[in-house]
Chains A and B, each alone.
Chain A
Amino acid sequence: MTSVLTWLDDPPADRGLRFAGDGGGDPWTFYSYEQMAYLARQAALRLWSFGVRPGDTVLVLCPTSPEFVAHYFGALIMGAVPAAAAPPPRMGDLTEYRRGLDHVVRLIAAKAVVTTPGSVSVLAPVARDVGGLLIDASAPAATRRADFDAPAIEDLSIIQLSSGSTGPRHGVRISLPAVQSNVAALHRWLEMTSRDRFPTWLPLSHDMGLVGALLNPVAAGADVWLMPPEDFIRSPIRWLRLFSDLAPTITAMPAFGLAHILRRVPSRKLEGLDFSSWRGLIIGAERIDHDIARRFVNLLEPFGFPPRALSPAYGMAEATLAVTGTSLAEVHPALTVDARSLSLGNAVKQVPARAGRPLPPAATTVVGCGTPLPRTEVTIVDGEGTPVGEDVVGEIVIRGQALAAAVLREAGAEQPIGATFATGDAGFLHQGRLYVLGRLGDSVKQLGRWLFAEDIERVAWSESPSPQRTVALLGDLGGHSMAVIAVQGALAAEEAEAIGKAVCGYAGNLRVTVMSVPVGWLLRTPSGKPMRRAMWAKFIANGGGANVLWRTPHADEVRFDNHKEEI
Chain B
Amino acid sequence: MTSEAHIRADEALLDVIMRVVAALAPNQVPGVTLDNALVADLGFDSLRLVELSFALEELFDMQPISIDDAPPIGTVRDIYDYARRKIEVGDAQPVSRESVEQWLAEAW
Q: Show the binding face of A for B, using Cβ within 8 Å.
A: 22, 88-94, 97, 118, 121-122, 230, 233-234, 256, 260, 264, 468-469, 488, 519-520, 524-528
Contacts and interface: CB of A to CB of B under 8 A. Distances in A.
Contact of A89 (B46, B64, B71): B46
B49 interface: yes
Given A264-B108, A468-B27, A519-B41, A88 B66 contact: yes
B66 to A, nearest CB: 7
Contacts, number: 70
B94 interface: no
B45 A528 contact: yes
B73 A526 contact: no
Nearest to A469: B27
Contacts of A122: 67-68
A89 B67 contact: yes
B67 A88 contact: yes
A267 B61 CA distance: 29
Contacts of A525: 45
Contacts of A527: 45-47
15 contacts: A22-B64, A88-B66, A88-B67, A90-B53, A90-B65, A91-B49, A91-B52, A91-B67, A91-B73, A93-B73, A122-B68, A230-B50, A233-B47, A234-B50, A519-B41
Nearest to A234: B54
A91 B43 CA distance: 15
A528 B49 CA distance: 12
B47 A91 contact: no
A264 B106 CA distance: 10
A181 B48 CA distance: 37
A109 B108 CA distance: 44
B37 interface: yes
Contact of A92 (B26, B27, B67): B67
Given A90-B66, A233-B50, A468-B27, 10 more contacts: A89-B46, A90-B50, A91-B53, A91-B67, A91-B73, A122-B67, A230-B50, A468-B43, A525-B45, A526-B45
Given A91-B53, A121-B68, A260 B46 contact: no
Contacts of A234: 50-51, 54
Interface in B1-46: 26-27, 37, 40-41, 43, 45-46
Nearest to A529: B45
B93 to A, nearest CB: 18
A91 B26 contact: no
A520 B41 contact: yes
B50 A91 contact: yes
Nearest to A260: B47
A92 B53 CA distance: 10
Nearest to A231: B54
Interface string B59-94: 000001111101101000000000000000000000
A265 to B, nearest CB: 10
Give the top 8 A-B pairs by smallest Cβ distance, nearest first: A526-B46, A520-B40, A88-B67, A91-B53, A91-B70, A234-B54, A91-B49, A528-B45
A90 B70 contact: yes
Nearest to B28: A468
Contact of B67 (A90, A256, A488, A519): A90
Interface string B96-108: 0000000000001
Contacts of A256: 47
A264 B108 CA distance: 6
A516 B50 CA distance: 30
A118 B68 CA distance: 10
B65 to A, nearest CB: 6
A377 to B, nearest CB: 36
B27 A520 contact: no
Nearest to B53: A91
Contacts of B26: 468
A91 B65 contact: yes
A94 B67 CA distance: 7
Contacts of B66: 88, 90, 118
A234 to B, nearest CB: 5
A93 B27 CA distance: 21
B91 to A, nearest CB: 16
A118 B73 CA distance: 22
A528 B37 CA distance: 17
Contacts of B40: 519-520
B70 A92 contact: yes
Nearest to A88: B67
Residue among B54, B67, B108 having the largest count of chain A Cβ atoms under 10 Å: B67
Residue among B37, B65, B70, B73 having the largest count of chain A Cβ atoms under 10 Å: B70
A469 B26 CA distance: 10
B87 to A, nearest CB: 19
Given A92-B67, A468-B26, A528 B47 contact: yes
Contacts of B45: 524-528
Nearest to B47: A233
A514 B70 CA distance: 39
A164 to B, nearest CB: 15
A269 to B, nearest CB: 10
Contacts of B43: 468-469, 524
Contacts of B68: 88, 94, 121-122
A89 B50 contact: yes
Nearest to A96: B73
Contacts of B70: 90-92
